[in-house]
Amino acid sequence: MSENNNDLGAFLAGFVIGGLVGAATAIILAPQSGSETRSQLMNQSQDLRQMSNERLQQVRQQAGEATKDVRDRAGTAFADARSQAHQVTGQMQEQARIVLDAGKDRAGQVRNQVNSFVKRENGTATE
């Protein structure tokens, strides 16, 4: 996209410079009166201004379209990233639940073993 902007800038510069050089050459070499030359200069400058304005509008439109395209792509990428983050978060929460449940089960087993051991030791101590 940057390369296109450089190409467009070079084109516009060449277009404007070429138009000015051509107009100046035509005016200098054309044998006519001063009023005719001034009239011709006015007409050519108006034509050049109109062409420049038209080209400026085209560039503005293209820039607006490019900006909209970038915004759309960024919005889509952001939505995708958010969705993936939610998915990963959900997976991590599920894994945490599994580990927690396994830890609770193991803690229950250890508690039962300790209770059994204490009961056995108490039973042996009272006999």
Structure tokens at 106: 């193991």
Tokens encoding 124: 């042996």
pLDDT at 68: 94
Q: Where are the domains of the chain?
A: 2-126
pLDDT band at 22 (very low <50, low <70, confident <90, very high): confident
Q: Specify whether the CB–CB gap between 23 and 41 falls below 8 A.
A: yes
Write the DSSP symbol of residue 30. Answer: S
Mean pLDDT over all residues of the chain? Answer: 84
What SS3 state is found at 32? coil
Name the band, by pLDDT with cuts 50, 70 and 90, for residue 126: low
pTM here is: 0.44
> Rounded mean pLDDT of 92-108?
92
Angle at 29 between CA 38 and CA 33, to 5 degrees: 40
Scored b (16 or more CB within 10 A) or e, 74-98 reads eeeeeeeeeeeeeeeeeeeeeeeee
